[in-house]
Amino acid sequence: IMNKLYVGNLSPSVTVEDLKQLFGERKLPVADQVLLKSGYAFVDFPDQNSAIKAIETLSGKVELHGKVIEVDYSVPKKLRSRKIQIRNIPPHLQWEVLDGLLAQYGTVENVEQVNTDTETAVVNVTYATKEEAKVAIEKLTGHQFDDCSFKVSYIMDMDAAPPVQTPRTRRGGRSSRDQGDSQPGPSGGFGTPRPRQHDFPLRMLVPTQFVGAIIGKEGLTIKNVTKQTQSKVDIHRKENAGAAEKPITIHSTPEGCSSACRMILDIMQKEANETKTTEDIPLKILAHNSLVGRLIGKEGRNLKKIEEETGTKITISSLQDLTIYNPERTITVKGSLDACCKAEMEIMKKLREAYENDIAAINQQANLIPGLNLNALGIFSSGLPVLPPAAGPRGAVPPVAPAGYNPFLQQAPEQEVVYLFIPTQAVGALIGKKGQHIKQLAHFAGASIKIAPAESPDVTERMVIITGTPEAQFKAQGRIFGKLKEENFFSAKEEVKLETHIKVPSTAAGRVIGKGGKTVNELQNLTSAEVIVPRDQTPDENDEVFVKISGHFFASQTAQRKIREIIQQVKQQEQKHQQGAAVSPHHSK
């Protein structure tokens, strides 16, 4: 549906064969259907990527029988509403800049980058209203950025379709829309093609005076680095004009990143020796704040260990330097070249682990919650890294959730109750003026959100009681974590970590702990959340006890889901057991 193109300004003598031949010459997949009318045609392409390629390579660039053809999406007026596609975006344009530009024309509900083969980036944008999308199309068409001028089209908005549509085609529209979408990686820029495995780039900061030497004459030095290490290296020398340091992003395998890092450090050291700068050049690695806490480890244990094993001194920039535009912290490593390179491997290993854990958590959420739009949570602007979506290689089916309980397979997802603890001084911000914020939040998440009264005037934490389906829980908790981050209740700490309590049947509590604490330990390792089942609880009137979970948002969510799965399995086994007992009364235990 998304990929039907309109081909206009055709000479009357053009045939279907001419068009097919043209597509063949341009290495475009042969279109499934070509419908030729007088002076124009409709062409169906198999996927969004080939449709974009056809528009990019043909529109206004090709003559057929003496007339220059136009190519664009064919979107009937009724389905032109809130969705637009912007093409020809320069690959180094920062996301913040694009977001700022889009926001000038209205409320943006969603922006997704489309994986394409083009040098420039392509995004699909959903505005809150038709009018905003219309203004954005008028204003953004031809908008110049560097030497690229934006190309903008309406794309099919299935939600605007009249309700007579059968659900099947609608779902088809959805899946083709979700294929190959990609969101920006933590590095912030577009245009970094994502290798199949989750690409986690190494980001370095280098002194501006060495950038010339790293690039080399006519770019030969950096070409040599990329060739030898099989990596893609972006030197962001236009960023932070006048700054003493420039970021470099290296995309490759972990080994490739490490060897590129060593070569760059080598080049800088040689240059320093020639210019008689005597002191050692430290290695500086940039990492997203939401991953740094896990690099540092409890009471700094992980960092100390890396320092001891590699013989380096490692410092991390203070949280005070973070801004919305710069969510990264600088990890400075001092030591010999060899020592710095060893430390880089260990540091990146820890950061990658944290990142992969967050991705696993997101994949699990995305499986549990079909159609979950993580951007809509608004937690990413506030310090969680935006991660690639759950889709595997392009067009592949997202990984299946682990066996066990999928709350969405049952007709009505179960209502869950979660007790979330927030700092007392954050209560006002969560409630908002005249209760507006908490009302909007409850509406957005589809959950009931109540703040329990304080038990005494001097409590440091207040309990928020959230009732709703798993999806509502995810949205409500995500927004609350995000709000606390935005309001700076967590400036001095690593990342927003909150404690949540959920109640579990006392029969299931043992299963959550596992033999010798095995399950709890696995949960903690898998999710990097702390999970505590207090031992001496008296079950309440519903025969339930509390489990306490504390961690950053994704860790906490994953732990909550896992524990709910265990509860569900216990319940199913009990039901089977009862049915079994009913069938054979002399069934011996």
Is 222 inside any structural domain?
yes
> Is residue 424 within 8 Å of residue 461, measured between CB atoms?
yes
Same domain, 249 and 334: yes
Distances (CA, A) of 377 to 366, 458, 474, 489: 13, 32, 9, 19
Same domain, 438 and 508: yes
Sign for the CA dihedral angle at 434, 479, 404, 412 comes to positive
> Is residue 546 within 8 Å of residue 509, measured between CB atoms?
no
Same domain, 257 and 355: yes
Same domain, 118 and 48: no
Distances (CA, A) of 457 to 125, 264, 419, 465, 573: 47, 58, 20, 19, 45
Is 374 inside any structural domain?
no
Give the CATH number for residue 439.
Answer: 3.30.310.210
Is 369 inside any structural domain?
no
Same domain, 135 and 284: no
**Cα–Cα distance for residue pair 424/461, rounded to 1 Å:** 5
Q: What share of the chain is helix, strand, coil (3-state, %, to 5)?
A: 45, 20, 35
Reference 288, options 249, 334, 242; nearest CA is 249
Is 388 inside any structural domain?
no
Residue ranges in the chain modelled with pLDDT below 50? 163-197, 371, 373, 375-411, 492-493, 588-589
**Cα–Cα distance for residue pair 553/519, rounded to 1 Å:** 21
Same domain, 126 and 217: no
Instruction: Give the number of other Cβ atoms within 10 Å of residue 433's Cβ.
Output: 7
> Is residue 478 within 8 Å of residue 553, measured between CB atoms?
yes
| The predicted structure's pLDDT at residue 348 | 96
| The predicted structure's pLDDT at residue 579 | 76
The tens digit of pLDDT for each residue in 524-539 reads: 877 778 888 887 888 8
| The predicted structure's pLDDT at residue 586 | 55
Residues contacting residue 210 through CB under 8 Å, at least 6 positions apart: 267, 268, 271, 272, 281
Which of 322, 340, 359 delimits the end of a domain?
359
Same domain, 480 and 561: yes
3-class DSSP state of 105: coil
Instruction: Give the number of other Cβ atoms within 10 Å of residue 392's Cβ.
Output: 13
Q: Domain range for residue 533?
A: 416-576
Which of 359, 374, 397 delimits the end of a domain?
359
| The predicted structure's pLDDT at residue 322 | 65
Q: Is 63 exposed, middle or buried (0-12, 13-18, 19+ CB in 10 A)?
A: exposed
Residue with tokens 């999308």: 133
**Cα–Cα distance for residue pair 128/110, rounded to 1 Å:** 9
Same domain, 212 and 310: yes
Is 236 inside any structural domain?
yes
Is 256 inside any structural domain?
yes
State the virtual CA torsion across 318, 321, 324, 329 in degrees, nearest 10: -50
Q: Indicate the angle between helix axes 337-368 and 553-583, nearest 10 degrees.
A: 50
Residue with tokens 């001891």: 308
Give the CATH number for residue 119.
Answer: 3.30.70.330
Residue 148 host element (H or E): strand 148-149
Which of 359, 377, 396 delimits the end of a domain?
359
| pTM, 2 dp | 0.43
Same domain, 266 and 345: yes
Is 380 inside any structural domain?
no
Same domain, 123 and 227: no
| Strand ranges of the sheet holding 202-207, from the earlier edge strand across to the other edge | 232-235, 245-251, 202-207, 283-288, 328-334, 313-316
Same domain, 207 and 353: yes
Could you give the number of structural domains in the chain? 4
Is 261 inside any structural domain?
yes
Same domain, 25 and 121: no
